[in-house]
Structure 1
Amino acid sequence: MRTITLQTRKDALATTRLHQSADTPLAPGQIRVRIETFALTSNNITYGAFGDSMNYWGFFPTGEEGWGTIPVWGFGAVVQSAHPGVAVGERLYGYFPLADQVVLQPDRLRPDSFVDAAAHRGELHAVYNRYNRCASDPFYTADSEDIQALLRPLFTTSWLIDDFLADNEFFGADSVILSSASAKTAYGTAFQLAQRPGIQVTGLTSPANKAFCESLGCYSRVLAYDELDRIAPDTACVYVDFSGSAKLRRAIHTGFVNLRHSAVIGGTHVDEIGGGAKDLPGPRATFFFAPNQIKKRHDDWGAAGFTDRLMTAWRAFTAKVSDPAAPWLVPTQHRGAQAAQSAYAQVLAGRSDPRAGHILSLIEPNAR
């Protein structure tokens, strides 16, 4: 058997290749997972855009200079096992390479999860190294795998952003400005913020996506990027940056004299990422690293308290997103390596319908 991986040039994310490699025999304690479906969103583009600075390239190294594998979130099944605690056929949810299979080394097994103990992942953040065992995962239902793959990691980040801002009393602001308002993590954040009394939530987006963002009902108002001057310059505000656009960040920092906090979340506008933030007026633009807030809340609430709060919010959000009368998100399937490569190019270029949720598999349709 051979493994097929969609690899990306680290310095040119639009340059990809489908790489095949021969499978190696499992060592004792390893398992081979067939990656059946995974989501591709602007969040994955962020992994590539910040791959060096945040070490996202380190999870699934290619071994070849200049080439990387972008991580994705999805579902897989164990097809080979040399580990006594993990059976062939077991279904898993977690952080996978953009590939058709992967070898993991389960450790610290629990009924609901285990950690990949591969040596190269030892220094990487534990949040990304944990795999959920679907049979005991409180999030899991078989009929909602696509929505889980698309939204579970993104909404967890959204929920944590909202919690972080509330935990800091919104830094004294009563207005939150979100860029890339049509992005799933952005509107998940807006959904949470809309439940905070006294907080106005403004979404910034492209003219083409303005109507979509307005239809969601979770933004107090939606503005195109060239309408930024409609916000009063003395507004006490927080900026939550999902776009990564240096030009937009500068406009926010120079245009609002009462900017209280500037959080960098992602990089949906890949062509506009870059430029220093140290010389900007106002608060320093600070990268929001979700695992730090997870650790804080685990310390505050305990693991069970954290999960209970997140599950309550998750159920409310996914019920709204999946409402058949007016869905916010409609999963779209892409099967096979070539289809996955085309879908990646589409998402990278920002050409996707914001209501489409891309579910990919590198496994060819006739091989399933």
Structure 2
Amino acid sequence: MENLILCHPRASSGQDPNQAIIVKCEVPQTIPNDHVLLEVDRFGFSTNNMTYQALGEALHFRYFEFHHAPEAEGASSKTHGVTPVWGFGTIIKSTHPKVHTGERVYGYFAPARYLLLSVSPDVNKYAFFVPRPHLPPDRRPYNQITRCAADPLYDPSPTAEDLTMLYRPLFWTSFWCEDWLNSSNYKGGSTHILISSASSKTAFCLAYLIRRRNSLQGSPTRRVIGLTSTKNLAFTKSLGLYDHTFDYVSFDTSLGNLPRGHWIYVDVAGNDALNARVRDHFRACGDSELATCIALGLTNISASTIEPSSASWGSDSDVSQGIDPKLEHFFMPEWLSIRKQQLSVSAIAQMQKEAWTMLMSDCGTWSVTLRRIYGPDQVKAAYEEIVRRGLVPEDAFVWSLWGETREYGLKVKL
């Protein structure tokens, strides 16, 4: 069997990191004990994955160390990295006694046709884990492979799987950030939450969750204001998730017309110049207080705008041009580990199930179009198109390196 893997040059290799290649290699016919061989069916691709790629060699993130590039013609683990993706697959071989051939699974995969994974001893009904002792313990959520048969959030329909790949990774970052802001009454709470890159899924899922809590509490406890580019303004307003939406050009004046209060700024864009303008606005506005600036994402960086091994989430000592040292940094696994000490596993599971069920019910009203791309040549071309023109918020991608018997290029209005 031949495997295909989507790889990117490491910035440290001196090659253009945006020149993706499809690497061919052999699939092992025999696999070691306590391993599984997956057939990766399809996977989501979004701005989140571009961030993984850009931070592939950064010391704190090390996204290229989850899956290693093969030693094959045109690539090696020294010159190339594999950008992780969230996807669905089926186990076609297993040498672990508690994990079985034929199981449908969801996890943090490589963009490949086949994926060989080691399985740690802590297998349970709901998941098994990939041992990665070279990575920090708080990366454990990324090492979890969900067993779909026992997953309370799983819906086997193709559209539901597509929505899971597109929203689930980003949604939980937004979910736990909103939980952190609310449950801790962080910085004394807030009357307004300002969110940059408001057209991105991470940002508008956060807005959705804040408004949902307002609705459950029966009062608009917090107003949500989105900042976005002029070209994305119409799309962002069409979502209906923000109380106000302003473009980056004129937001200074527009914010001044809103009621005064206690503000928290959540930066999803990762744009230092924008962040400086936001801070300057509130310094000049005596009646409103900016309690804190929180970094939740880096939608405006690419692999060519960040130095490898220089970014650090939550540290001011190692910062690159893509990360503002004046921001506080929210990293979901760290907060989740705290909540696991405060809440029972069943309580967390119930919180997540309720939120996910509501999202699946509500997201169909959002103006997002699903683009399914199948086949290695088509996936490579789709990636190159993204590099040329950027990701537009109206598009949601699901890719597969299988193309022979699967539909190609289908667009579906979600």
Give the TM-score normalised by the residue count of structure 2: 0.81
User: 1:321: Cα distance to partner?
Assistant: 0.5
User: 1:340: Cα distance to partner?
Assistant: 1.6
Change (3 A) 1:187 1:98: same
Q: Which amino acid aligns with 1:38?
A: F
Partner SS state of residue 214, structure 1: helix
Partner of 1:34: 39
Partner SS state of residue 266, structure 1: coil
Partner of 2:316: none
Partner of 1:277: 324
Structure 2 residue runs without a partner (length 5+): 70-75, 215-219, 284-288, 307-319, 408-414
Partner SS state of residue 145, structure 1: helix
**The one of 244, 264, 281 aligned to 1:221:** 244
Partner SS state of residue 293, structure 1: helix
Partner of 2:113: 100
Q: Which amino acid aligns with 1:193?
A: I
Partner SS state of residue 151, structure 1: helix
Change (3 A) 1:89 1:121: farther
Partner SS state of residue 360, structure 1: strand
User: 1:118: Cα distance to partner?
Assistant: 5.2
User: 1:124: Cα distance to partner?
Assistant: 6.6
Q: Where do residues 149-168 of structure 1 align in structure 2 (5 Å cutoff)?
A: 149-168=165-184
Q: Distance in 1 between matches of 2:276 and 2:350?
A: 39
1:341 is the counterpart of 2:367: no
Partner SS state of residue 402, structure 2: coil
8 Å CA contact 2:132–2:143 kept in 1: the answer is: no
Partner SS state of residue 18, structure 2: strand
8 Å CA contact 1:59–1:124 kept in 2: the answer is: no
8 Å CA contact 1:40–1:344 kept in 2: the answer is: no
User: 1:353: Cα distance to partner?
Assistant: 4.0
Q: Distance in 2 between matches of 1:74 and 1:18?
A: 18
8 Å CA contact 1:81–1:87 kept in 2: the answer is: yes
Count of aligned pairs between the two proteins: 360
Change (3 A) 1:156 1:167: same
8 Å CA contact 2:66–2:84 kept in 1: the answer is: yes
8 Å CA contact 1:42–1:347 kept in 2: the answer is: no
Give the TM-score normalised by the residue count of structure 1: 0.91
Q: Where do residues 81-100 of structure 1 align in structure 2 (5 Å cutoff)?
A: 81-100=94-113
Change (3 A) 1:215 1:35: same
Task: Please give the per-residue CA displacement for 1:62-101, whole angstroms capped at 9, x wherever unaligned.
Answer: 2522421111101000112222222221110010012222
Partner of 2:294: 263
**The one of 193, 204, 209 aligned to 1:192:** 209
Partner of 2:311: none
**The one of 304, 311, 323 aligned to 2:346:** 304
Q: Distance in 1 between matches of 2:225 and 2:61?
A: 28
Q: Distance in 2 between matches of 1:202 and 1:259?
A: 14
1:175 is the counterpart of 2:192: yes
1:17 is the counterpart of 2:43: no
Partner of 2:312: none
Partner of 1:232: 256
1:139 is the counterpart of 2:158: no
8 Å CA contact 2:3–2:113 kept in 1: the answer is: yes
Task: Please give the per-residue CA displacement for 1:36-66, whole angstroms capped at 9, x wherever unaligned.
Answer: 0110011111212222141212111225224
Q: Distance in 2 between matches of 1:34 and 1:138?
A: 23
Q: Which has the higher strand share?
A: 1
Q: Distance in 2 between matches of 1:367 and 1:188?
A: 31
Change (3 A) 1:68 1:235: farther
User: 1:154: Cα distance to partner?
Assistant: 1.0
**The one of 225, 246, 258 aligned to 2:272:** 246
8 Å CA contact 2:52–2:83 kept in 1: the answer is: yes
Partner SS state of residue 135, structure 1: helix
Partner of 2:332: 290
What is the identity percentage for the equivalent residue pairs of Structure 1 and Structure 2? 27
Structure 1 residue runs without a partner (length 5+): 279-283
Partner SS state of residue 142, structure 1: coil
**The one of 215, 218, 226 aligned to 1:203:** 226
User: 1:121: Cα distance to partner?
Assistant: 5.4
8 Å CA contact 2:126–2:150 kept in 1: the answer is: yes
Cα RMSD, aligned residues only = 2.2
Q: Distance in 1 between matches of 2:141 and 2:244?
A: 34
Partner SS state of residue 98, structure 2: coil
Partner SS state of residue 123, structure 2: strand
User: 1:311: Cα distance to partner?
Assistant: 1.1
Range that drifts further, 329-338 or 151-160 = 329-338
Q: Distance in 2 between matches of 1:175 and 1:354?
A: 24
Q: Distance in 1 between matches of 2:93 and 2:191?
A: 53
Task: Please give the per-residue CA displacement for 1:183-240, whole angstroms capped at 9, x wherever unaligned.
Answer: 1111100001123332111111111211111111110111111122121397632121
Q: Which amino acid aligns with 2:67?
A: F
Q: Distance in 1 between matches of 2:241 and 2:378?
A: 33
User: 1:359: Cα distance to partner?
Assistant: 0.5
User: 1:361: Cα distance to partner?
Assistant: 0.5
Change (3 A) 1:110 1:189: same
Task: Please give the per-residue CA displacement for 1:125-164, whole angstroms capped at 9, x wherever unaligned.
Answer: 1110011101111110111101111111111111111111
Range that drifts further, 217-226 or 235-244 = 235-244
